[in-house]
C-alpha cells in the first residue's frame, strides 16, 4: 500500500419522482443539479450541507433548488428522496 487508502465511493439512489422532476427541467438546470447530486458520491456531507430538523436527512442547495437526501453509512448509499424549487420543497404533497 502506498500510504493512501482508496476510499470507496457512495452509491447514489434516486426515486422515480426525482427522476421525473429532473427530466422536466431545461438542460442548464438539469446539468447543474445532476453534477451536485453526483458530487455526493465522493463527499456525502459537503461543506454547506444542512441537517434537516423536520424530515430525517440532509439538504444541499444549488441556485433556487434544494436536494434532500438520506445517507446510509453502513451500505455506502446516498438516497435522494426529493429535489425541487425552494418555494415548493418543504410543502406537504
pLDDT in tens, 33-76: 999 999 999 999 999 999 998 888 999 999 999 999 999 999 99
Kindly give the residue spans of alpha helices, DSSP state H, lying in the chain. Answer: 16-23, 27-39
Write the CB contacts of 8 (distance below 8 Å, at least 6 apart in sequence). Answer: 76
Q: How confident is the model at residue 6 (pLDDT cuts 50, 70, 90)?
A: low
Residues comprising the chain, all counted: 93
> What is the average per-residue pLDDT within 22-39?
97
Is 66 within a domain? yes
Rounded to an integer, what distance in angstroms lies between the CA atom of residue 54 and that of residue 49?
15
Is 1 within a domain? no
Is 4 within a domain? no
Q: What is the span of the domain harbouring residue 65? A: 11-85
CB-based contact 65:30 (threshold 8 Å)? no
Is 80 within a domain? yes
Is 72 within a domain? yes
CB-based contact 29:65 (threshold 8 Å)? yes
Rounded to an integer, what distance in angstroms lies between the CA atom of residue 23 and that of residue 30?
7
pTM for the full predicted model? 0.87
Is 2 within a domain? no
Is 75 within a domain? yes
Is 93 within a domain? no
CATH of the domain at 49: 3.30.2310.20
Q: What is the pLDDT of residue 3?
A: 41
Count of domains for the chain: 1
Torsions phi, psi for 41 (to 5 deg): -60, -40
Amino acid at each position: 500500500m502506498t500510504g493512501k487508502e482508496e476510499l470507496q465511493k457512495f452509491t447514489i439512489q434516486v426515486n422515480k419522482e426525482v427522476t421525473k422532476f429532473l427530466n422536466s427541467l431545461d438542460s442548464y438546470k438539469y446539468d447543474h443539479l445532476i453534477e451536485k447530486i453526483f458530487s455526493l458520491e465522493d463527499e456525502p456531507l459537503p461543506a454547506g450541507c444542512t441537517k434537516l430538523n423536520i424530515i430525517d436527512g440532509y439538504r444541499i442547495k444549488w441556485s433556487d433548488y434544494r436536494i434532500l437526501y438520506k445517507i446510509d453509512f453502513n451500505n455506502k448509499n446516498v438516497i435522494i428522496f426529493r429535489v425541487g424549487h425552494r418555494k415548493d420543497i418543504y410543502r406537504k404533497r
